[in-house]
Amino acid sequence: MQNYGQDCRVIETTSVVENKFENGCSITMDTFKDKTHLIKLWKIIKKNGNFNCAYIKVDGQFSGCINDYIGQEKQENGTTP
């Protein structure tokens, strides 16, 4: 993320979801620009880290799987996830 100018901490995780292992991560960012910026960063992290999921928390707005957050963004913009 250093190459993209984003200060953050990414911790790799392995979860069991519906009896299957899922590679993921927990992302902590000191600054949060907007959902669009986060979606772009997630695409980079997902591709480079081979992750399926990430836990995110946006104070006062959201806490959970980044894929659900992205789906929420798409619904707010009138597209289906």
Mean pLDDT of 74-81: 48
pLDDT confidence of residue 19: 93
Residue 25: name the closest of 49, 57, 5 by CA: 49
**Residue type at 38?**
L
> What distance in Å separates the CA atoms of residue 62 and residue 57, rounded to the nearest whole number?
6
* Four-CA torsion 77, 41, 48, 72, nearest 10 degrees: -30
Residue 80: which pLDDT band, with cuts at 50, 70 and 90? very low
Mean pLDDT of 3-8: 72
pLDDT confidence of residue 26: 81
Domain ranges of the chain: 2-76
> What distance in Å separates the CA atoms of residue 28 and residue 20, rounded to the nearest whole number?
25
pTM, two decimals, is 0.62
How does pLDDT run across 8-65, given as a tens digit for each residue? 787 888 888 899 888 888 877 777 677 887 888 888 888 877 788 888 877 778 888 8
